[in-house]
């Protein structure tokens, strides 16, 4: 009521049953530096008596102990769909979800998006409480908000604060094209709150709590939430397509915190809006006549004054969507219609990449003669390693994959099937034909990838 005290009880009562506690378990992992016990396939460099082996004592293997962690999540449907942060469930072998009535469910990861740090998980249930989406565009500075989650392994906890800033970029999201346009609040958020709800005083979801700014790792004044209007679009894409249908204007623009000297070096001018310092040849902006040196000031009539503000608007659209773009050139304002494209420069639906594609390698079934000669039933030959996940391991070309986490691999079909269901880090084992011993390589299945920001 105007002039009276703010009452948070109704919002808290409505929200807490729909916010869940997520606990994850990552199994113990065997790791190896891949030095063989007998003949080393790389010993031509040193001879069989490897000097590095003698110097370091040849520690061939070690163990990463079992990892357990916890976070929060928000039920968004009565049949058990939950939104949380990607970093809450990333790499987990097991996901357990506990509701406020202390009932625990097995969680299944439906899909994830490291670029926005969002993930969708599912539990089997009916008539579950869930939070209604609010509208993050309506959020105002100074507005009261509540953070709901499970900090520090405590039971469900509600804290209050105000909106202290919008469209913040803090450089924490992983991925090849990260999206950051956070709502900043001073509601207390601690480890374990990640993936929980930021709600308004009507009990509507306006953001997913994701990060804190702290020199200690615990709450020190500010926390950050993904705006719900971004969450809605990405979650819907993940549930429908398995991957985000992300659209691009086809431009690059300066980072948020570059110096005056850097601006001068790059020819960046002062002005309102987002300065364009590059235009992609196959992008939507080029097709519409946008040029380097223009300032984008509005997208579909919504004013944008920074890269994060523009990101927040573009993130709501998919390839093929038509939008109006307002820009200033030589002091004159212009408005054009553009059709947004995907990252490949066309309008096609973005397909979910196969994990085999992400390996970045040329693979084939091992021929029967080589399999017989090496006393194995089959395997997958790594013929060539390019840019991809395998490049991050010590694996060399010519390796034959014979098992993944102890499951036999006799050919590419086996490898595709096992990796399609795998999460986190797996162990690829196999041989180098003609050399003694079995080798193992840990493979992280998460695809992680300045002054200038990429096309948004």
Task: Clarify whether 194 is annotated catalytic.
Answer: yes
**Which strand (E) or helix (H) includes residue 12?**
helix 9-15
- The one catalytic residue among 116, 194, 210, 252: 194
CA dist., res. 178 & res. 172, Å (int): 9
> Distances from the Cα of 193 to the Cαs of 126, 147, 209, 384, 424, in angstroms?
25, 8, 7, 43, 22
CA dist., res. 430 & res. 452, Å (int): 42
Mind giving me the DSSP string for 52-119? Answer: HHHHHT---EEEEPPEEEEEEEEE-STT-EEEE-HHHHTT-SEEEEE-TT--EEEEEEEEEETTTTEE
Q: Enumerate helices (H) and strands (E) in the chain, giving the number of each.
A: 10, 28
Place of tokens 């509601």: 187
> Distances from the Cα of 442 to the Cαs of 125, 134, 392, in angstroms?
35, 42, 10
Alpha helices in 272-404 (DSSP H): 284-287, 307-314, 355-359, 368-373
Q: State residue 408 phi and psi, 5-degree precision.
A: -65, 140
CA dist., res. 279 & res. 342, Å (int): 15
Please give the angle made by the CA atoms of 62, 64 and 67, to the nearest 5 degrees.
170
CA-based end-to-end distance of the chain: 41
Task: Clarify whether 421 is annotated catalytic.
Answer: no
Q: State residue 227 phi and psi, 5-degree precision.
A: -60, 140
- The one catalytic residue among 93, 113, 117, 186: 117
Provide the token pair at 230.
Answer: 């971004």
CA dist., res. 174 & res. 420, Å (int): 21
Alpha helices in 305-396 (DSSP H): 307-314, 355-359, 368-373
Task: Clarify whether 117 is annotated catalytic.
Answer: yes
- The one catalytic residue among 21, 87, 113, 455: 87
Q: Which residues are catalytic?
A: 87, 117, 194
């Amino acid at each position: 009521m105007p002039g009276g005290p703010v009452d948070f009880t109704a919002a808290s009562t409505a929200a807490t049953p729909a916010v869940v506690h997520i606990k994850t378990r990552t199994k113990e992992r065997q790791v190896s530096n891949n030095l063989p016990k007998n003949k080393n396939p790389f010993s031509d460099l040193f001879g069989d008596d490897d000097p590095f082996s003698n110097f370091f004592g040849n520690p061939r293997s070690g163990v990463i102990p079992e990892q357990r962690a916890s976070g929060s999540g928000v039920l968004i449907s009565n049949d058990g769909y939950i939104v949380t942060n990607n970093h809450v469930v990333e790499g987990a072998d097991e996901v357990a979800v506990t509701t406020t009535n202390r009932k625990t469910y097995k969680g299944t990861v439906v899909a994830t998006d490291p670029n926005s740090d969002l993930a969708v998980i599912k539990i089997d249930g009916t008539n579950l409480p869930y939070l209604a989406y609010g509208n993050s565009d309506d959020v105002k500075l100074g507005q009261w908000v509540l953070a709901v989650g499970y900090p520090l392994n405590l039971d469900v906890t509600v804290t209050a604060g105000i909106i202290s800033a919008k469209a913040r970029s803090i450089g924490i999201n992983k991925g090849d094209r990260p999206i950051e346009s956070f709502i900043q609040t001073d509601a207390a958020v601690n480890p374990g709150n990640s993936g929980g709800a930021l709600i308004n005083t009507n009990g509507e979801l306006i953001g997913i709590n994701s990060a804190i700014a702290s020199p200690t790792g615990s709450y020190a004044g500010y926390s950050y939430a993904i705006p719900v209007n971004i969450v809605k679009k990405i979650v819907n894409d993940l549930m429908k397509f398995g991957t985000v249908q992300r659209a691009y204007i086809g431009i690059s623009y300066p980072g948020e915190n570059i110096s005056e000297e850097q601006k001068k070096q790059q020819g960046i001018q002062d002005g309102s809006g987002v300065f364009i310092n590059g235009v992609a040849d196959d992008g939507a902006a080029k097709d519409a006549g946008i040029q380097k040196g223009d300032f984008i000031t509005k997208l579909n009539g919504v004013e944008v004054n920074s890269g994060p503000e523009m990101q927040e608007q573009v993130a709501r659209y998919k390839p093929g969507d038509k939008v109006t773009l307002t820009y200033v050139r030589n002091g004159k304002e212009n408005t054009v219609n553009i059709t947004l494209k995907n990252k490949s420069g066309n309008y096609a639906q973005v397909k979910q990449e196969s994990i085999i594609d992400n390996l970045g390698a040329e693979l084939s079934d091992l021929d029967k003669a080589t399999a017989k000669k090496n006393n194995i039933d089959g395997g997958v030959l790594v013929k060539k390693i390019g840019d991809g996940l395998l490049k991050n391991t010590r694996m060399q070309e010519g390796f034959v994959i014979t098992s993944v986490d102890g499951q036999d691999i006799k050919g590419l079909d086996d490898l595709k099937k096992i990796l399609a269901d795998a999460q986190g880090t797996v162990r690829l084992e196999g041989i180098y034909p003609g050399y003694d011993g079995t080798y193992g390589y840990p493979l992280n299945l998460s695809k992680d990838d300045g002054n200038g920001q990429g096309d948004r």
